[in-house]
């Protein structure tokens, strides 16, 4: 009987402990939501159904307006002229060519470039691009479409996350508009690269954790699925970032053991079910060759050593964030200050801070690596966007000072673009491009000045933010309509490669001397053989009866005369030449 009583006591204590833990978790989510609700008091009654990740938010009339009116406008901005610009070396034509080879060969497991296995990235982006190719054909629009759709998904997720975090539909809309107007977000949304798809899944994973914090227990399973898809997009980093953010956040909240309440077993099953099959298939086909190339060289080595001359100083990402987040980067200092003072829940700060520090610590540095922190920064900036704010004398002075600061920043941006044009382009081409770009660039200072002065005159602070948002969206729209298509004249290789494709017989390679631009392979639709020395070139000339070769004018001028005599220049664009072996030439 004593044993039975003892067992009963132990069972009772376990039940009480479980109940206390559940109560603490419930109170924790309620506290988070109450702080969000307080931030959004101006919204009237908070529509708490936005704490779910689906239907209720869409059924609400005002939320439906955002999804069915604002999102289509953003879609039009992203889609306009999407295929008017040729692909940018190196990643875009590389991914486009890999996708084309995948569709043509029917091998959707192992990716190939120039006929050789390619283990740099997992296949999810290429599966989506391949499906787009089948629908729209082999063109720039089709290969870029998955990035646009991923960008729209990221915008909608940021909106829903803002609604859940702040407890306010209006704050969610502000966060979405901030993100949509960021310069780098817009640019990458219209490029055939994997980073936007990775950002979508990371954002979804962290959003599912936020819903879990607010008591939606099963929402965390969405996070595991999102991490699996992120792993199929860009490898282990797709799971590492959201997992690290969640763990650091729980440690800051002194609740690290809550990690065991995140449905680990079913979540791990979902993750492995979605992510593991492709990795296992590649290992079965290529064994250690795959693991060494993918996990060793392209994942670990990329982090500890700079690859392909892609290094940078410790402040590399700070500089690129100021440009990529423009114009909202000018609001970051005030946003961080307000965020810390208001003691808001630190989830967005942990998210942004981890991504920034993690990639700053990497030896290989690329601007695209910062993209997954943009939704977090958008939430932080949305926190200082007031619904209504009456400006006193000090506030009006700050509005005038803001106009001056925004004009100065716009002037610096214009100066940088002009200097870059003069450094990279032929003087005549540079002058023509600057004439075309300047009127578009003037939209920025004009819109900023009008917004700040209108706010000062009407004594209404929210006008500044509305004006900056409208100016930013107008600017990126003009970028897509006028500026990006004009960049085609600065890229000679696509046009020369197309010319070469009309001259080459089926199956014949296109040679390049000192060039390894993927656009040569993509736009010629022929395999490319790269030559790096005049000895290699002489050997090919002895072997081949006819050949076409792309070469820079500078390299051609250094050829010995006996090699120059073997070629004739059939076409040229900028500083690049298309050479053809002369008919009847002898060794």
Measured distance CA(146)–CA(153) in Å, rounded: 10
What are phi and psi for residue 398, nearest 5 degrees?
-65, -35
pLDDT at 61: 56
Number of H helices and E strands in the chain, helices first, is 29, 7
What's the mean per-residue pLDDT of the chain?
Answer: 84
What would the mean pLDDT of 376-389 be, rounded to a whole number? 85
**CA nearest to 343, candidates 38, 29, 26, 41:** 38
3-state secondary structure of 13: helix
Condensed to tens digits (0 to 9), the pLDDT of residues 480-530 reads 988 888 888 888 899 999 999 999 999 899 999 988 889 999 999 999 999
Helix (H), strand (E) at residue 221: helix 219-234
Condensed to tens digits (0 to 9), the pLDDT of residues 275-312 reads 999 999 999 999 999 999 999 888 888 888 887 777 78
**Structure token pair of residue 59:** 């059924």
Condensed to tens digits (0 to 9), the pLDDT of residues 310-325 reads 778 888 999 889 889 9
Evaluate whether 275 touches 232 at the Cβ level (below 8 Å).
yes
**CA nearest to 517, candidates 56, 113, 20, 6:** 113
Evaluate whether 97 touches 521 at the Cβ level (below 8 Å).
yes
**Structure token pair of residue 429:** 């081409």
Measured distance CA(104)–CA(130) in Å, rounded: 10
Evaluate whether 273 touches 282 at the Cβ level (below 8 Å).
no
pLDDT at 466: 84
What would the mean pLDDT of 552-574 be, rounded to a whole number? 90
Distance linking the first and last C-alpha atoms of the chain: 106
**Structure token pair of residue 62:** 């005002």
**CA nearest to 111, candidates 274, 236, 298, 241:** 298
- The answer to whether residue 208 scores a pLDDT higher than 90 is yes
Evaluate whether 147 touches 188 at the Cβ level (below 8 Å).
yes
Is pLDDT larger for residue 433 or for residue 271?
271
**Structure token pair of residue 573:** 């664009």
**CA nearest to 385, candidates 204, 166, 157:** 166
Measured distance CA(355)–CA(372) in Å, rounded: 7
**Packed helices 219-234 and 237-252: angle between N→C axes, nearest 10 degrees:** 140
**CA nearest to 171, candidates 331, 472, 460, 384:** 384
pLDDT at 463: 77
- The answer to whether residue 381 scores a pLDDT higher than 90 is yes
pLDDT at 23: 53
pLDDT at 577: 93
Residue showing tokens 């059924």 = 59
**Structure token pair of residue 418:** 């002009």
pLDDT at 574: 80
- The answer to whether residue 232 scores a pLDDT higher than 60 is yes
* Edge-to-edge strand list for the sheet holding 528-531: 528-531, 510-513, 548-552, 576-581, 567-573
Condensed to tens digits (0 to 9), the pLDDT of residues 455-474 reads 666 777 677 788 889 989 99
Total Cβ atoms within 10 A of residue 205: 26
Percent over 70 (pLDDT), the chain: 81
What would the mean pLDDT of 395-405 be, rounded to a whole number? 64
Condensed to tens digits (0 to 9), the pLDDT of residues 113-169 reads 988 999 999 999 999 999 999 999 999 999 999 999 999 999 999 999 999 999 888
Condensed to tens digits (0 to 9), the pLDDT of residues 336-366 reads 998 988 888 999 999 999 999 999 999 889 9
DSSP 431-479: HHHHHHHHHHHTHHHHHHHHHHHHHHHHTBTHHHHHHHHHHHHHHHHHI
Measured distance CA(297)–CA(307) in Å, rounded: 9
**Packed helices 2-39 and 195-213: angle between N→C axes, nearest 10 degrees:** 120
pTM over 0.85: yes
From 100-109, 252-261, 285-294, 400-409, the region with the lowest mean pLDDT: 400-409
pLDDT at 501: 92
Percent over 90 (pLDDT), the chain: 55
Confidence bin at 260 (pLDDT 50/70/90): very high
């Amino acid at each position: 009987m004593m044993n039975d009583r003892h067992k009963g006591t132990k069972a009772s204590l376990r039940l009480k402990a479980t109940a206390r833990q559940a109560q603490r978790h419930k109170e924790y989510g309620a506290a988070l939501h109450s702080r969000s609700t307080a931030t959004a008091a101006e919204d009237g009654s908070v529509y708490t159904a936005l704490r779910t990740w689906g239907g209720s938010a869409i059924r609400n009339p005002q939320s439906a307006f955002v999804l069915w009116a604002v999102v289509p406008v953003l879609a039009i901005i992203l889609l306009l002229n999407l295929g008017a610009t040729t692909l940018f070396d190196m990643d875009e034509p590389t991914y486009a060519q890999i996708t084309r080879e995948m569709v043509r060969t029917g091998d959707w497991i192992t990716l190939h470039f120039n006929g050789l296995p390619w283990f740099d990235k997992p296949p999810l982006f290429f599966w989506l691009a391949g499906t787009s190719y089948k629908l729209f054909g082999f063109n720039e629009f089709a290969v870029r479409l998955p990035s646009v759709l991923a960008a729209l998904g990221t915008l909608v997720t940021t909106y829903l996350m803002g609604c859940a975090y702040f407890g306010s539909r209006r704050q969610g809309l502000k966060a979405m508009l901030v993100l949509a107007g960021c310069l780098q977000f817009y640019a990458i949304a219209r490029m055939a690269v994997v980073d936007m798809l990775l950002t979508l899944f990371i954002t979804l994973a962290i959003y599912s954790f936020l819903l879990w914090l607010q008591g939606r227990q099963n929402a965390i399973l969405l996070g595991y699925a999102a991490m699996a898809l992120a792993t199929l997009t860009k490898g282990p980093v797709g799971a590492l970032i959201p997992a690290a953010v969640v763990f650091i956040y729980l440690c800051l909240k002194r609740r690290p053991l809550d990690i065991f309440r995140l449905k680990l077993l079913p979540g791990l099953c979902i993750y492995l079910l979605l992510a593991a099959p492709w990795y296992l298939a590649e290992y079965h086909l290529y064994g250690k060759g795959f693991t060494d190339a993918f996990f060793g060289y392209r994942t670990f080595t990329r982090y500890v050593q700079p690859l392909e001359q892609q290094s940078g100083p410790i402040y590399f990402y700070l500089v690129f964030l100021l440009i990529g987040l423009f114009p909202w980067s000018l609001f970051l200092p005030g946003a961080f200050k307000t965020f810390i003072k208001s003691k808001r829940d630190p989830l967005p700060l942990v998210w942004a801070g981890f991504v920034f520090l993690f990639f700053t610590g990497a030896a290989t540095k690329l601007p695209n690596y910062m993209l997954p922190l943009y939704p977090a920064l958008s939430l932080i900036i949305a926190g200082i966007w007031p619904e209504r704010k009456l400006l006193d004398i000090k506030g009006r002075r700050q509005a005038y000072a803001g106009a001056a600061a925004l004009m100065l920043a716009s002037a610096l941006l214009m100066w940088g673009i002009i200097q870059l044009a003069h450094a990279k382009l032929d003087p005549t081409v540079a002058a023509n491009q600057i004439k075309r770009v300047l009127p578009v660039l003037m939209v920025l200072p004009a819109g900023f000045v009008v917004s700040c002065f209108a706010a000062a005159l009407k004594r209404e602070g929210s006008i500044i933010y509305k004006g900056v948002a409208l100016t930013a969206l107008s600017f990126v729209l003009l970028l897509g309509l006028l500026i990006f298509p004009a960049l085609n004249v600065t890229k000679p290789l696509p046009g020369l490669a197309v010319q070469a494709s009309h001259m080459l017989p089926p199956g014949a390679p296109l040679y390049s001397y000192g060039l390894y631009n993927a656009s040569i392979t993509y736009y010629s639709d022929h395999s490319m053989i790269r030559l790096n020395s005049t000895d290699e070139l002489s050997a090919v000339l002895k072997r081949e009866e006819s050949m076409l070769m792309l070469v820079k004018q500078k390299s051609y001028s250094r050829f010995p005369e006996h090699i120059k005599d073997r070629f004739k220049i059939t076409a040229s664009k900028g500083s690049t030449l298309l050479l053809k072996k002369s008919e009847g030439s002898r060794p």
